[in-house]
Amino acid sequence: MLFQPKLLVTGANGFIGGALTAKLFANGQSRDAIFLIRSSTPEEGLMRLAKTLRGHGLTTSQLLNLKLDQILCGDLNVVNRWIDDPRLKSVENVVSSAAVASFGNHPSIWPTNVDGVLNMAHGLSHICKLKRFIHIGTAMACGLDSPNPVPEGYDGGAQTHHFLEYTYSKYEVERRLKEELPNLPLIIARPSIVVGHTKLGCKASGSIFWVFRMALALKAFPCALEQRIDVVPVDYCADALYMLLTKPILKYSSYHISAGEKHSSSFAEIEESISEATGKPRMKNYQQKSYEQILQMRDQFKNLLGECNRRIVAKAIKTYGNFSTLELAFDNSRLIEEGMDYPTPLAKYAGLCELTSQGILISEQMKFDYK
């Protein structure tokens, strides 16, 4: 008998999509799902997904619930090759998590994040009776000139000055989904900065956490230690997406998954958490320096940071350093109104992130974000 899934998840091999998929399995609610996996065979796809889910803490017994018929081979760059798969006709809900989440200028950012998602949405809207299409964007799609705190559903329009090609692509696909598919039951979820896991630290991914490691190693960054940053753990992000997926009625069509002003963490609090976890003395002689001043330290990068590409390190400092000085917070009142608890601040689990990063080069963790 043909498998008739109710849920399609793309990006299950990614950080956020993997956390949500792990939650589905942990809750015993995975059997109705089909997963789009970049692989040449279902067997290869199953192995790739299982490896990701192990990183998110699933046990072997839990992974035995993953079946070959739940693997849909393909990716967003070749939607035409898999969109006619007969298993998709029964799909009612979609979590669109797949993306090229590179903070460099990866050539696949626009073909994947914009064209691919649009092609998938158009295709599914013709063959399925969709009840909910959850698209995972980014809170930083607000752009550089947004109000602070950033209101939920904020749209700066065509004149938005975007941080990166990645954030621009996320803004553009949202705009075009609304414009081209006005009847799509679209729910936009915009996570802020997603770092680590409250119980697993950086075991699943060191994405973004390396920025804090870098600043501590250099004892210098463009922001002051008192400045705050809006960060959520990936397990909170998964919990929020699960609620948006399963709650029968939602009040809004756009949500931030964020810490907001109350649960953001200062860089000083994060440093203190790391110090307590590692038993190392508190950092002394930290200096707030401009990008240009830090660039003058480039001959020390290898000694302070370990083996690294100085050009990429400099680029990362410019990108994240500029963002850190903005001290942006993202309003999260809609999610709280729907019944979510507030997230655990990064300062409460940054020590665990550091402990699970030990022995891993900063440059290795950077690969999560600079593909």
Tens digit of each residue's pLDDT (9 = 90 or more) over 171-203: 999 999 999 999 999 999 999 999 999 999 999
Mean pLDDT of the 31-54 span: 97
pLDDT score, position 320: 86
pLDDT at 104: 73
For every residue of the chain, which 3-state class applies, written as one string?
Answer: CCCCCCEEEECCCCHHHHHHHHHHHHCCCCCCEEEEECCCCHHHHHHHHHHHHHHCCCCHHHHCCCCHHHEEECCHHHHHHCCCCHHHHHCCEEEECCCCCCCCCCCCHHHHHHHHHHHHHHHHHHHCCCCEEEEECCHHHHCCCCCCCECCCCCCCCCCCCCCHHHHHHHHHHHHHHHHCCCCCEEEEEECEECCECCCECCCCCCCHHHHHHHHHHCEECCCCCCEECEECHHHHHHHHHHHHHCCCCCCCEEEECCHHHHCEEHHHHHHHHHHHHCCCCCCCCEECCHHHHHCCHHHHHHHHCCCCHHHHHHHHHHHHHHHHHCCCECCHHHHHCCCCCCCCHHHHHHHHHHCCCCCCHHHHHCCCCC
Instruction: Give the domain-ending residue among 191, 217, 245.
Output: 191
Mean per-residue pLDDT for 216-230? Answer: 96
Asked if 154 and 69 sit in the same domain, the reply is: yes
Based on the fold, state whether residues 221 and 357 are members of the same structural domain. Answer: yes
**Confidence label for 67 from pLDDT (cuts 50, 70 and 90):** very high
Q: Is the Cα dihedral 368, 246, 50, 348 positive or negative?
A: positive
pLDDT, tens digit, 9 for 90 and up, residues 80-111? 999 999 999 999 999 999 999 877 778 899 99
> Stretch 255-259: mean pLDDT, rounded?
98
Domain check: are 11 and 61 in the same one? yes
Predicted local confidence at residue 106, as pLDDT: 83
Tell me what pLDDT residue 4 has.
95
Residues 206-223, mean pLDDT to the nearest whole number = 96
Do 15 and 108 belong together in one domain? yes
State the pLDDT at residue 35: 98
Instruction: Give the model's pLDDT for residue 324.
Output: 87
Residue 280 covered by a domain: yes
- Domain limits for position 225: 209-229+264-327+346-366
94 and 135 both lie in a single domain = yes
Mean pLDDT of all residues in 219-245: 97
Q: What pLDDT sits at residue 158?
A: 87
Number of domains in the chain: 2
When pLDDT is averaged across residues 206-221 and rounded to a whole number, the result is: 96
Task: For residue range 260-278, list pLDDT tens digits in order.
Answer: 999 999 999 999 999 999 9
This prediction's pTM: 0.96
| Percent of all residues in the chain with a pLDDT value above 90, rounded to a whole number | 91
* Average pLDDT for the chain: 95
